[in-house]
Amino acid sequence: MMNGAESLVRTLVHNQVKVCFTNPGTSEMHFVAALDTVPGIRCVLGLFEGVVTGAADGYYRLAQRPAATLLHLGPGLGNGLANLHNARKANSGIVNIVGEHATHHLAYDAPLTADIEGVARPMSHWVHTSRTSQGVAQDGARAITQARTAPGRIATLILPADTAWNPGGEVCTAEAPESRAAYDAEALEAAARALESVTPNAGRCAILLGGVGALDTALTWAGRIAARTGCAVLGEYNVPRTERGAGRVQARRVPYAVDPAVAMLKAFDTFILVGSKVPVAFFAYPNKPSVLVPPDARIIPLATVEQDINGALEALADRLGARGLAPQGVAEALNHSSLTSLPTGRPEPAGIAQVLATLLPEHAIVVDESVSTGRGFETPTARARPHDWINVMGGSIGFGLPAAVGAAIAAPDRPVIVLEGDGSAMYTEQALWTMAREGLNVKVLIFANRAYQILRGELQAVGAGTPGERA
């Protein structure tokens, strides 16, 4: 008879959860033993929990199916929260398995005892503690259903040690999640009327894409709508993944900094939101707006990230008679036949962008945590060979190296390029060990600023002056 841990692992495998990123401890040993004996799931060790949770995020971005994590009690979960925050903002589906003391041991308040549900709740959509070993498999199936729910959710299942070692129940099949919600027909008609009013001198309208709206299918529909109406196609500053490069529609990215973002967006009086939100500043700054669009702008929410984004754009294109049009804004390919024009000398952001644009392999996956160095990379790399670009969504640094681990495991036949600020790399440098241990196809570029460069700019932006010797 299998124990609760084995019933859970077999339930994960039965429901096509193929990878478990782990940093276990004593309470999780029966789960580890089950990972070793049950075929069909890959166990990937991380030396820090932020690597584990960030890898699960990166995995979902490419695979579009959840991985599992295995974390050690409340402190282990706590160590992984920063990248779970990023994953939640990215709408990445993850099944967290968090070990807990045996139920009879909790009364003694051992050193590692913690309120695990309380730790988990801010970064999870669903939290549950297994009560019996017989119910563990069913609890696991429920967690999988939650993680698969569009656009992706974080499900945290807490596994007391005795529910792992005592006899388990039968393997369970997860219920199919609900389909994406339909877009709103009235919003579709409002968007169509706004787009029909676009002229060279009036009706300044922009489609703002986010979520899966930044992938090729949605971009193509948006490009056709732009070809029909003359509207602009914009992208949120951060999207979970965008498919870009030669032959693909380029969505102009809303800048990070407040002033250039306001300057870009003031050109429009109507914004059609597709998987996106009204652009806001990352932080509040004295005498600067929090909302970046004009105060009197019209906002039309065509489809949220929970809704059928591709269906909404396709229907809008049909409503406007744009289905058969060639998309507008398709990036032309660079001439890659000669490398003689590559820059030389001291690395500078413009030169780095030129090198990336020229040398990025076809179908590469770029994980971007370049922070201050990489803010100008968008335009030069738009004409590179077709590639995917992944951003940190929640602003919590230490994302890039772990996310690259997950992306490389999700897409082992594709090269992964990490653009990493040196400060951000220091948060989760243990991911380099996992890359080496797993033999992953990852190249890491560290931008050695040797200073907390972004904060120098932020000191100026908030009006706090120039840092002195102690700062």
Task: Indicate if the alpha-carbon torsion angle 463, 467, 468, 471 is positive or negative.
Answer: positive
Helix, strand, coil % in the chain, rounded to nearest 5? 40, 20, 40
Q: What is the mean pLDDT of residues 189-205?
A: 84
pLDDT tens per residue, range 178-188: 889 999 999 99
Q: Are strands 252-253 and 416-421 parallel, antiparallel or unpaired?
A: unpaired
pLDDT of residue 201: 56
pLDDT in tens, 397-425: 999 999 999 999 999 999 999 999 999 99
- DSSP state for residue 255 in the 8-state scheme: P
Rounded to whole angstroms, the Cα distance separating 127 from 18 reads 22
Starting at the edge strand that comes first in sequence, how are the strands of the sheet with 242-244 ordered?
Answer: 242-244, 387-391, 364-369, 416-421, 442-447
Which pLDDT does position 178 carry in this prediction?
86
Confidence of residue 334 (pLDDT cuts 50, 70, 90): confident
Q: Is the pLDDT of residue 169 over 90?
A: yes
Tell me how far apart the alpha carbons of residues 429 and 33 are, in angstroms, rounded to a whole number.
27
Query: Residues of CATH 3.40.50.970 domain(s) within the chain?
Result: 4-165, 349-459
DSSP code, position 22: E
Question: 349-459 maps to which CATH number?
Answer: 3.40.50.970
Model pLDDT, residue 451: 74
**DSSP secondary structure, 139-152, as one string:** HHHHHHHHHHSTT-
Query: What pLDDT, on a 0 to 100 scale, did the predictor assign at position 203?
Result: 60
pLDDT > 70: percent of the chain: 97
Query: Residue 467: its pLDDT value, please?
Result: 74
- As a whole number of angstroms, the distance between CA 252 and CA 236 comes to 9
Confidence of residue 200 (pLDDT cuts 50, 70, 90): low
Hey, what CATH class is 4-165 in? alpha beta
Over residues 289-305, mean pLDDT: 98
pTM of the model: 0.95
- Burial of 298 (C-beta count, 10 Å sphere; 0-12/13-18/19+): middle
Amino acid 458: pLDDT = 79
From 38-42, 72-76, 313-317, 368-372, the region with the lowest mean pLDDT = 368-372
185-319 homologous superfamily: TPP-binding domain (3.40.50.1220)
Would you give the DSSP letter of residue 81? H
What is the chain's mean pLDDT, rounded? Answer: 95
pLDDT classification of 372: cutoffs 50, 70, 90: confident
Q: How far apart are the first and last CA of the chain?
A: 62
Structure token digits, residue 155 = 């499900």
- Cβ-contact 136, 170 below 8 angstroms: no
**367, 400 Cβ separation under 8 angstroms:** yes
Which ranges in the chain are annotated with CATH 3.40.50.1220?
A: 185-319
Write out pLDDT tens, residues 43-87.
999 999 999 999 999 999 999 999 999 999 999 999 999 999 999
Task: Tell me the pLDDT band of 337, cut-offs 50, 70 and 90.
Answer: low
What pLDDT does 465 receive?
74
pLDDT at 340 > cutoff 80: no
